[in-house]
Amino acid sequence: MVDSPDSGEGPGWLVVLPDCASAARVAASLRTRKVQAVSHPSGRPWLLGRWSTGALTVGEAGRTKIAVVGEHAVTTERLDHAAGRIDTIAGLDGLARGMAGSSHLIASVTGRVRVQGSLTGFRRVFHARIGDATVAADRADVLAALLDAEVDEQRLAARLLNPCAPHPLAGEPVWREVSAVGMGHYLVLDADGRGRPVAWWAPPEPVVPMTEGAPALRQALSTAVEVRVRGRDVVSCDLGGLDSTSVCALAARGTAKVIAYTADGLDPLCDDVTWARRTVAGLGDVGHHVIAGDRLPMVYEGLKEVDERFDEPCPAMMHPSRCLVIPRLAAARGSRMHLTGFGGDELLAGSPAHLHTLIRTHPRTAWQRLRGFAAQGPWPYRETLRQLWDNSSYRAWLARAGELLTDVPPPLEAPALDWGTPPRLPPWATPDAVEAVRELIRTAARTAEPLAERRGQHIELEAMGNNARMVRQVGQLATRAGITLAAPYYDDRVIEAGLAVRPQDRITPWQYKPLIVEAMRGIVPDESLTRHTKDEGSYEAEAGMREQRGELLALCEDSRLARSGLIDAEVLRETCSRPLPPTLPFDALYQTVVCEMWLRTLELERADGIQAA
C-alpha cells in the first residue's frame, strides 16, 4: 500500500484475505508496515489495513465473524446476534438489506468469506490472484502494488472516452491482473483461496406511487443523514442546489451544530448564494459561510503541483486544491464529518429514457411527457421517433457505439431515449488508441448485460456508478483535512427508495425534481422547494481553460500519454492553444488531462521509492 504524501493518516485502505494458508505470504508482506489487523475465527489473518477510529465494528459467534467498515450505525451486539443466526454467506442478505449508511460488509463463515461494497461503487471491492490466493481490497492500487502490476494501457485508453467509457468498461481497474466486483454483486473467497462474484441485488420495480414513494425517500434519506450526524457536536454541509439543501436541512434537525458552506460561482447567472441565504433564514440556527468565486482556485490551476495518488484517473486531479477549500475550512471549525448532495441529480432528476418503456405501458402519459421533453430540447422529430421505437438490445447498442468512436459527437439537442450517449474519442487519440478501445468494446458487447432491463433505470444506475467513483476519490482528498466526506444519496437504501417510485411521477419536463420536493415538505423551507435552477459549472470550465492555458500547454510537453502511443501531443497542443470548437465538449479535455496527470503521479510515486506494504 502506498502512503499518503500529506501530513496525518491520509486515506485509509483495507485488504481482505481468504481463510487459507496460501494467503500467509500476502499477510506477511502487508505486516512489514504498521497496519491494523483482525483475524478469522480460525486465527488466520483476515482484515489488514488502515481505517479511522470508529469505522470498524466486528461481531462473532462460533465460526462466524462479521465486520462492517465505513459510515454506519451497526453495533457489536447486532453483529453478534447476526453471526449466531447464520451458517452460510448467503445468510447475510437480510443484514445487508437492512443496513443504513455506506460501508463494506465482510463476513467469514466456516472458512468462506463474503466481501461486499455499496451498490454504486462509492465503496468498491477489487480482487486479484496473488500467488495461490485471491485477495480483495477497497483500492485497486493496493493490489497492484502487491502484484507489482503495470498499467493496462488498453483500459487506460478507454478512459479517454467522452462523456465516459460505457458499462461495463467504465468500472474496470486500469491495472493489469486487477478486477472489480460489479454493481449488485459481492465477492466470495472460498477456503481454497479461489474467488468468484455472486449476484445478490437487482433494482426495484418502479411501481410505487408518489404518495407512498415520497415518505419512503424521506425516511431513507433522514436515516442516512442521522447515521452521520448522531453523536457529533459539529457537522458541516454543502449548501448549493436542492439536493444539498435537503441534506443540510435534515442535518439541522439533529443536536449537532451545523455549519453550511456555499461556493459562489464566477458565472453572473449562478444563484446558489441567493437560495442558500433564503434556506438558512428559514432553518434558523445554521452557521453559513459564503466562499467568493475569486477565492476558489480555477479549473486546471496548479496542475504542476498535483501529487495525490489515486487508484485510477479522477476528475478531482484537475483541481485538487479547489476540492479541498471547503473541507479545510470546515475542519478548521471543528467538523470531522462533511455532508454533500452528490448523487442527487442521478436519482432525482432521472432519465427521460424511461419514456421508452412508458410508451409501451402508459402511452397517453408517455406522449404528454415526450412532447414536453422534445420541446425543451428541442429534440429532432425523426431521431426522437427512431429512438422511441427502436428495441435494440444493450449488446447491439454497445457494438454499434464501438464503431462510432471517431464520429462527430451527437448534438446537445439529441434525444435521450437510447441506452446512453454514444461515447467518442477526442481528435488527439491515435489510431492505435482508437483500435484498442474499439476492440475492448467489441469484446464487451458479446456478453454485456445492462444494469437494468429498462433503459431509464440502466442510465440512472450507470450515472450513479460513474459519479460515485469520482466522489469516492474526492473523499480521499478530504482526508487530507482530517474530515470524512459523506454522500447520503449514494447509500443503498436511499437509491432503492428513489428507484422504486414510478417514473411518470418522478420524471417530468414540467417540474424540477418532484420526488425530493414532496419528500422534503415540512423539512426544507417552503420557499427553497420552489427552486428550479442549478449551476452547471461550464462558465468555470471555460474561464479555467482561458486563464490556465499555459498549464494545459505544459502538459503537452513530454506527454506520458503520447509516450504510451495513446495521443498525438501535437494535435492536443493545437487544440489547447485556442477555444474549444463547438463540437468538442469540455469533458473530452477533462478526460485526457486526468489520465495524463494520473500517469505523472505514478512516476512521482516510483521516484519516491514507495513500495507495497
- pLDDT digits 0-9 by tens, 570-581: 999 999 888 888
Separation of alpha carbons 444 and 169, rounded Å: 8
Q: Are residues 141 and 222 in the same domain?
A: no
Q: Are residues 253 and 113 in the same domain?
A: no
C-alpha cell at 456: 431509464
* Contact present, 240 and 246 (Cβ < 8 Å): no
Q: Which of 215-224, 257-266, 530-539, 603-612 has the lowest mean pLDDT?
A: 603-612
Mean pLDDT of 12-25: 95
- How many CB atoms within 10 Å of residue 607? 8
Element (H, E) at 263: strand 257-263
Look at residues 199, 218, 242 and tell me which one is the last residue of a structural domain: 199
Identity of the residue numbered 605 = E
Contacts of residue 391, Cβ cutoff 8 Å, sequence gap at least 6: none
First to last CA, the chain: 5
pLDDT band at 307 (very low <50, low <70, confident <90, very high): confident
Mean pLDDT of 138-146: 96
Residue 529: pLDDT over 90: yes
Residue 415 domain-assigned (yes or no): no
Q: Which of 48, 95, 94, 97 is nearest to 75 (CA)?
A: 95
Identity of the residue numbered 506 = R
Q: Which of 127, 145, 129, 133 is nearest to 197 (CA)?
A: 127
* Contact present, 14 and 49 (Cβ < 8 Å): yes
Preceding peptide of 525 cis, ω within 30°: no
Residue 272: pLDDT over 50: yes
Q: Are residues 41 and 152 in the same domain?
A: yes
What is the CATH classification number for the domain harbouring 524?
3.40.50.620
Residue 375 domain-assigned (yes or no): no
Separation of alpha carbons 587 and 466, rounded Å: 14
Residue 7: pLDDT over 70: no
Separation of alpha carbons 520 and 40, rounded Å: 44
C-alpha cell at 536: 452547471
Q: Which of 25-39, 173-187, 206-220, 387-401 has the lowest mean pLDDT?
A: 25-39
Mean pLDDT of 584-601: 90
Q: What is the DSSP string of 31-97?
A: TTS--EEEE-TTSSEEEEEE--TTSEEEEEETTEEEEEEEE----HHHHHHHHHH-SSGGGGHHHHH
pLDDT band at 585 (very low <50, low <70, confident <90, very high): confident
Residue 442 domain-assigned (yes or no): no
Q: Are residues 517 and 548 in the same domain?
A: no
Q: Are residues 93 and 216 in the same domain?
A: no
3 state SS for 271-315: CHHHHHHHHHHHHCCCEEEEECHHHCCCCCCCHHHCCCCCCCCCH
The rounded radius of gyration (Å) of the Cα atoms in the chain is 24
Separation of alpha carbons 23 and 15, rounded Å: 11
Give 493-523 pLDDT, tens digit per residue: 999 999 999 999 999 999 999 999 999 999 9
Residue 390: pLDDT over 80: yes
Residue 82 domain-assigned (yes or no): yes
* Contact present, 177 and 149 (Cβ < 8 Å): yes
Mean of the per-residue pLDDT values of the chain: 92
- Three-state DSSP class for residue 332: helix
Separation of alpha carbons 355 and 370, rounded Å: 7
Q: Are residues 36 and 156 in the same domain?
A: yes
> Which of the 8 DSSP states describes residue 210?
H
- How many CB atoms within 10 Å of residue 574? 13
pLDDT at 539: 66
Mean pLDDT of 596-602: 93
pLDDT at 63: 95
Q: Which of 164, 128, 168 is nearest to 594 (CA)?
A: 164
Give 426-476 pLDDT, tens digit per residue: 999 999 999 999 999 999 999 999 999 999 999 999 999 999 999 999 999
Residue with cell 408517455: 366
Residue 204 domain-assigned (yes or no): no
Q: Are residues 516 and 565 in the same domain?
A: no
Look at residues 482, 505, 529 and tell me which one is the last residue of a structural domain: 529
Lateral strand order in the sheet of 179-180:
36-39, 45-50, 13-16, 133-137, 126-130, 179-180
Give 314-347 pLDDT, tens digit per residue: 888 887 888 899 999 999 999 999 999 999 999 9
Residue 609: pLDDT over 50: no
* Contact present, 23 and 45 (Cβ < 8 Å): yes
Provide the number of structural domains found in the chain.
Answer: 3
Q: Are residues 557 and 477 in the same domain?
A: no
Identity of the residue numbered 180 = A
Give 64-76 pLDDT, tens digit per residue: 999 999 999 999 9
State the residue range of the domain holding 90.
13-199
Q: Are residues 552 and 499 in the same domain?
A: no
pLDDT band at 584 (very low <50, low <70, confident <90, very high): confident
Q: Which of 547, 8, 71, 605 is nearest to 328 (CA)?
A: 8
Separation of alpha carbons 445 and 439, rounded Å: 10
Beta bridge partners of 37: 48
* Contact present, 320 and 306 (Cβ < 8 Å): yes
* Contact present, 555 and 300 (Cβ < 8 Å): no
Mean pLDDT of 227-241: 96
Beta bridge partners of 260: 237, 288
238-264 per-residue burial string, b: 16 or more CB within 10 A, e: under 16:
bbbbbbbbbbbbbbbebebbbbbbbbb
Separation of alpha carbons 509 and 54, rounded Å: 44
Separation of alpha carbons 498 and 154, rounded Å: 36
* Contact present, 589 and 426 (Cβ < 8 Å): yes
∠482-485-45 over CA atoms, to 5°? 75
Look at residues 529, 559, 587 and tell me which one is the last residue of a structural domain: 529
123 vs 555, more confident = 123
pLDDT at 11: 66
Residue 12: pLDDT over 50: yes
* Contact present, 468 and 120 (Cβ < 8 Å): yes
What are the φ/ψ torsions at residue 574 (nearest 5 degrees)?
A: -60, -40
Residue with cell 494501457: 153
Give me the percent of the chain exceeding a pLDDT of 70: 96
Contacts of residue 502, Cβ cutoff 8 Å, sequence gap at least 6: 206, 207, 208, 209, 210, 213
Q: Are residues 245 and 337 in the same domain?
A: yes
Separation of alpha carbons 228 and 85, rounded Å: 28
Separation of alpha carbons 495 and 497, rounded Å: 5
Q: Are residues 55 and 181 in the same domain?
A: yes
Residue 107: pLDDT over 50: yes
Residue 430 domain-assigned (yes or no): no
What is the CATH classification number for the domain harbouring 180?
3.60.20.10
Q: Are residues 173 and 217 in the same domain?
A: no
* Contact present, 63 and 109 (Cβ < 8 Å): yes
Residue 3 domain-assigned (yes or no): no
* Contact present, 488 and 71 (Cβ < 8 Å): no
pLDDT band at 39 (very low <50, low <70, confident <90, very high): very high
